[in-house]
Amino acid sequence: MHGIRSQHMETTKITEKIRRVEGTIAEACARAHREPGDIRLVVVTKSAEIEQIEEVIRLGYNHLGENRVQQLKKVAGQVAEYLQQHPDDPALPREIHWHMIGHLQRNKVRQILPTVSLVHSVDTLRLAEEINSSAARLGLSPRVLLQVNTSGEPQKYGVPIGAATHLAEQIETLPHLKLIGLMTMAPLTRNSDIIRACFTRARELFYEMRGEKIVGNQFTELSMGMSSDYEIAIEEGATILRLGSAIFAG
């Protein structure tokens, strides 16, 4: 009894939270004269229980993200099993798009490619080349984002701003992957000017690459904005938000 009741309270809370997030996204879009339909919400499941993830999927969300390879494979397997067990449920999406949002080691590339829909974290040529050659062997054509270090913090992953254009040019020559945009993370700070400056840099770099034809027409995505800063990210042009704790925490 107690287990059932607490699970029910949990799922209701998640529904409430995700509705609140949608409202906040709509308000930020209104301020920025943008359409909520132009912004993709990736639900980051790294801190969620499987029952909570199932609840989110039942609400129609089918873009999910994880930052670790083993966890992504495990949760993707659990979710696939859940969908198989409910083949006739019209509320459930038929397909889940998995986003690898965390640092990716080259020796893990091959295991993740068959599951993943978008890799957000390509930041070296060696990693891009590994994805390219694994994709060729697997007969895949994965989509990737170039992760850019817009904060200048040395401990952060991501290619430095000054090296990003050259790396994008090199990645563009690789035939078995598709470079479709940029990803960045702002530093953990309450100072919204610092956060906004990072997102502005990413947006400027994004348009510069497009303007100078360093990248192709498929280069359309700007992945930025987490639970603590997604309103600013929307105002600065984000097309993909990666939200975890705003949906699952507390």
Ligand X SMILES: *Cc1c(COP(=O)(O)O)cnc(C)c1O
**Residue ranges binding ligand X (CB under 6 A):** 44, 46, 67, 101-102, 185, 226-228, 242-246
The C-alpha angle with vertex 156 and arms to 29 and 72, in degrees rounded to 5, equals 75
| Residue 82 or 230 having the CB closest to ligand X | 230
**What tokens were used for 31?**
């301020």
Minimum distance from CB of 110 to ligand X (Å)?
21
| Residue 46 or 210 having the CB closest to ligand X | 46
**What tokens were used for 247?**
């949906």
Minimum distance from CB of 145 to ligand X (Å)?
11
Residues 6 or more apart whose Cβ sits within 8 Å of residue 90? none
Minimum distance from CB of 114 to ligand X (Å)?
21
* Long-range contacts, 173-177 (Cβ 8 Å, 24+): 174/128, 174/129, 174/131, 174/132, 175/132, 175/136, 176/131, 176/132, 176/133, 176/135, 176/136, 176/140, 176/141, 176/142, 177/128, 177/131, 177/132, 177/135, 177/141, 177/142, 177/143, 177/144
| Residue 44 or 113 having the CB closest to ligand X | 44
| Residue 73 or 242 having the CB closest to ligand X | 242
* Closest chain position to ligand X (CB): 244
Minimum distance from CB of 225 to ligand X (Å)?
8
222 has which bridge partners? 182
Burial of 184 per CB tally in 10 Å (0-12, 13-18, 19+)? buried
| Residue 83 or 221 having the CB closest to ligand X | 221
Residues 6 or more apart whose Cβ sits within 8 Å of residue 134? 109, 110, 113, 140
| Residue 46 or 58 having the CB closest to ligand X | 46
Minimum distance from CB of 182 to ligand X (Å)?
13
Minimum distance from CB of 164 to ligand X (Å)?
17
